[in-house]
Amino acid sequence: MRKREFLLFFILPFLLVVGLFTLLSNLNRQYIQAKMQELARDQLSATALILKESIRAGLERGLPASEVLKPYQATEDIYFMAILDSQENVLDWTSRFEGYLPLSQKERPPGELWIIDSPEGKIFNHYSALTTAEGRKYYFYLGYSLKSLDVLLTYSRRNFWYILSALALAGLVIFAGLYRLHRSYQLAATEAARQAEEKEKFKEISAYTSGVAHEIKNPLNSLALLFEYWQSLNLPEINQELEKGKKEAEKIASLVDRFSEALKPVSISPEKFEVALVIEEEIKELDNLAEEKNLKIDLKAEGGLKLTADRLLFSRVVANLLKNAIEASPAGSLISLKAYARKKSLILEVEDSGPGLEETQAEKIFDPFVSSKSSGFGIGLYLTRKIVAAHGGRISASNRPGGGAVFKVEMPGGESG
């Protein structure tokens, strides 16, 4: 599955779930609000009916409006009350907030019940007429607090955001896990395809090279024996040419041996050893080659660094990378080697001061018979990668910001002292 398809496959259903959850939550909140208002309306109507009877009785006894309202001032859910005369002038009123009576004839809607906003939230209003036994007409105005409804709706909204946040977080965690799993699968599939392609290429090269090596080795042996015979004759006039011919034959034989070695599977014999000692030995072996170009080799190895691996094969890795750096670097420049441990792995970095790598080289430089040098045969780096891979490690090549190339080896089994 492609990256874009994977994102659509996950994100669209996730957004659909979030959308449905939001819609259902809003519908549920609206339903709760409607039901609570309906209950509040019923309760307010019943409360108003009871209070009107009590207030009518007080007015019939001749009590002033202030005395009639006094017993109900401490009622918790009653926000305000007012008694008005027949001309709708306020006789007296009481409110939980002094000076606040939201009564306006212009803004009052028709009907006995309506809802307004106040400093304390929504208020359910009841406005109706009452008549005493003597026929005197009054108006009763009652404000009933819907604070409990507001609290419930606030709680519902808060829970909605909590659940939505948890859902989003869970979605992100699942997405991250699935994406990493998908990415790992893609990398594994790509690596498997690369290995299959390399194996097929290796089989073709192996068959071809084995045949060529067999056909070349026998004539080379005969030619080497012939050169030795001619040299035994001690012919001064051709001795120099014979020596050159013998060296060329040995060079061809060495090349055939390297090809044959590249075809053999890598067999490792792990042991624990000091990394710095092995690197220093290989630097010493290549001192003459470095001195010819007046190169300085700088080694920075972590103290007490050890590696559990095949010592001989690891030394081949160091030698191949160091020789490659020497050949790539211009005269009088610096080659840097760094060795350190990270997460139970050895990291070896070899930096040269050469021209660096072209983009196409960085992708294929470890393939067999691919070389950036006119005199190279593309065997050394291929063998290096085989050795590193046989240890369960990996090798990469890139360009340095300041110029030159960096070869980085990661091998498991590294530990600092």
- Write out pLDDT tens, residues 104-140: 655 667 777 777 777 667 777 888 888 988 888 998 8
Which single residue is written with the structure tokens 């979030």? 18
Which single residue is written with the structure tokens 């959308």? 19
Nearest CA-CA partner of 278 in 313, 254, 250: 313
pLDDT at 351: 94
Which single residue is written with the structure tokens 């926000």? 79
Question: CA separation (Å) from 249 to 236, 262, 398?
Answer: 20, 20, 36
CA distance linking residue 289 with residue 245, whole number of Å? 24
Amino acid at 188: A
The pTM assigned to this predicted structure is 0.48
| Contact yes or no for 339/351 (Cβ under 8 A) | no
Q: What is the pLDDT of residues 233-277, one digit of tens each?
A: 777 777 778 777 777 777 777 666 666 666 667 788 999 999 999
pLDDT at 67: 86
pLDDT at 231: 73
Q: Which two tokens stand for residue 158?
A: 């808060």
CA distance linking residue 148 with residue 279, whole number of Å? 78
CA distance linking residue 306 with residue 8, whole number of Å? 47
CA distance linking residue 145 with residue 120, whole number of Å? 8
Q: Which two tokens stand for residue 170?
A: 């869970």
- Show the low-confidence residues of the chain (pLDDT under 70): 1-10, 14, 29, 33, 36-37, 40, 74-77, 97-100, 103-108, 119-120, 148-153, 155-156, 198-199, 201-215, 217-218, 254-264, 360-363, 368-378
pLDDT at 186: 76
CA distance linking residue 244 with residue 115, whole number of Å? 111
Question: CA separation (Å) from 318 to 90, 322, 389?
Answer: 101, 6, 15
Q: Which two tokens stand for residue 300?
A: 């920075």
DSSP string, 102-117: ---TTTPPSSSEEEEE
Amino acid at 204: E
